[in-house]
Amino acid sequence: MAVGVGCAFFLLALASILLTRLTANVALLWVANAMLLAALCARPANERFGLVLACAVGSFAATTVISPYSPIALSFVVANCGEALIAWAIIRRLGEAHRLFKSMRSIPVFVIGAGIVAPVVTGLVPVVSLWLMRGADPLFTWTNWTIGHGLGALIGTPVALLVLGGRDYWAGSTGDRSLGGFAVAMVALIGVTVATFWQSTMPLLFFPVLPLVIAAIRFRFAGAAIGVFAIAAIGATATIAGYGPVQLLDGSHAVQLLFFQFYLAVLFLTAVPFATMMAENKRLADTVTASEARYRMIADNASDVMLTLDPDGTIRFASPSVREIGGFDPEALIGTSALALVAEDDRERVSAVHVAALTDPDRSHRVEYRGLTADGRQCWFEMITRAVSDGQNPISSVVSVVRDLSHRKAREADLERQATTDPMTGLLNRRAFQGRLAECAAPDRSAPAMFALLDLDHFKRVNDNWGHASGDAALLGFADILRDNLRSQDAIGRLGGEEFAILFPDLTSADALAACERVRRALERHRVVTNGGAFGITVSIGLAPVDTESTPEAVFRQADAALYRAKALGRNRSELADS
């Protein structure tokens, strides 16, 4: 690859010196450096040294063979290779080396780096060399070098990239892939350009613009790059030979050549950015189409509901899974408010998350809420939502993924029930009941409360005489009696074995004692029926007040003391703790 690039550099340098060196100075259109610049951008890093070395040899050989400046050939080697390296360093530093002419941002970077900065800086080398060698005007040399090399980079680099960039670069930069169509377009452009420049009677410089634009539209970057290069080659040959519309310009031959250079720069800055923009828009459109196809495929087959909303919350799209999860027809939801699918109590929270997504579109937002199904039921859902911007408006839409949480919530409720209830009786277990007692004893609570500690009398005899199965039946029967004779807000717990507890929120001691007596009498009348017969059982109860000045442990000790007194007084009775 390096040898081929070096040979191409040598041939382009010969052509530039032979055809465009019209004064006793440097060439007026130098395209050779474009070959090295394109190679540095397109080829792997391990080839760069060989590429620079090959082009240095090509530059030295071309200057030695045909240029009158062979004594200072090394200075031209430094200037030519340095120009390509400076331009490549600028383009690479700004992150455009591997996508040159594939994005609109790369074009101004290329124009500034390769068309202005690099030739301006490296032009100082031939300025000094020619001034020392033959006293050439420094400003004249520097101007010719800057314009000729800058224009040569603009015109030559795109074509060199098509050659060195490989099939992927060509395919990614063109629209119509037909080689026959490309050949026809180029033949038409060349024909129009020849007709324009091999006559000197009419100002037809605008004439090649039309086929150039057509080539750029159909073949994107390839059409624009090769089209501009063809116009430059034909126009330069004709202008140097004394033909073309440029001859109508009133001025010296140097002025006419300068105007032609300006004409080529305008063609480049018109056609290449236009083609690059079209190719970039096409790639963007293909990306959007592919993304939309993936989104539709996922939406049509996903179990979660996918919604696209307008910024005001109106549904624009609903995936088919909304039929399975919510019972809604997806088409019927379009144009309705997504908030109508949320339970009224949760609408404020869901609206807040929607507003947060609009405010911060760079991240996803999550919320759990109760939603409504088509038959009016409430189910738990999880929604992850994110705003989308199209680059023109701040927010173009909001995309939401909704997942049914009914099974998860049921599992969570079951786990919570298992963690807080006694597995035999279904009452609160000891830990959960202690939590309720701590809440009632909290310092910020002002309402009265009572705590009752209950213990079944002589329960060991039940197990010994009737068996453990009968003992379990007695416990279950007592649990049912507690539920039937107490309020829904009263907390009932089994602390372990035959020991139970009741927490009466908002009851005075007299009312709590009456409730305990109601439970005690109901148990006294109750008979436990087993296979061996039936038996009765009684309960002793101790009550203590719950106040903010006592700890739960202290309340428990007071109730236990009252319970001990009830047992000492003959059992089957309720006793209040001493004040």
- DSSP string computed for 74-117: HHHHHHHHHHHHHHHHHHHHTT-GGGTTTSTTHHHHHIIIIIII
Residue 575: phi, psi to the nearest 5?
-130, 140
Tell how strand 574-576 and strand 539-546 pair up: parallel
Residue pLDDT tens, the chain, 579 long: 789 889 998 998 888 888 777 666 778 788 899 999 988 988 888 888 999 999 999 999 998 988 888 888 999 999 999 999 999 999 999 888 888 888 888 889 989 999 999 999 999 999 999 898 888 889 988 988 998 898 888 888 888 888 887 665 565 444 445 778 888 889 999 999 999 988 888 988 899 999 999 888 888 888 888 898 899 889 888 887 888 888 888 877 767 777 888 888 898 888 888 888 887 787 777 777 766 666 666 666 567 888 889 888 999 988 888 888 888 998 999 999 999 999 999 999 999 999 998 888 888 899 999 999 888 888 889 999 988 876 555 788 888 888 888 777 777 767 777 777 888 898 999 988 988 888 887 776 667 789 999 999 999 988 888 888 889 999 999 999 999 999 989 999 999 999 999 999 888 999 999 999 999 999 999 999 887 788 999 999 999 998 877 788 889 999 999 999 999 999 999 999 986
DSSP secondary structure letters along 332-354? HHTTSBGGGGB-GGGHHHHHHHH
Cβ-in-10-Å burial (0-12, 13-18, 19+) of 341 comes to buried
- Judge contact between 62 and 13, C-beta under 8 A: yes
Contact 472, 527 (CB under 8 A): no
Q: How far is CA 92 from CA 1, 32, 35, 375, in A?
A: 21, 20, 16, 62
Phi, psi of 405 (to 5 degrees): -105, 10
Instruction: Give residue for tokens 């060399």.
Output: 129
DSSP code, position 362: T
Instruction: Give me the helices (H) in 302-405, please.
Output: 321-326, 330-333, 347-359
DSSP state of 446: -
CB atoms within 10 A of CB 543: 25
Does residue 376 sit in helix, strand or coil?
coil
Name the nearest CA neighbour of 426 among 435, 434, 417: 417
Q: Evaluate whether 304 touches 402 at the Cβ level (below 8 Å).
A: yes
Task: Give the pLDDT confidence score for residue 172 in this predicted structure.
Answer: 47
Predicted local distance difference test score (pLDDT) of residue 411 = 79
Q: What per-residue confidence (pLDDT) applies to 175? A: 46
Residue reference for tokens 């329960």:
459
Q: Please give the backbone phi and psi of residue 9, each rounded to the nearest 5 degrees, phi first.
A: -60, -45
Contact status, residue 388 vs residue 397, Cβ threshold 8 Å: yes
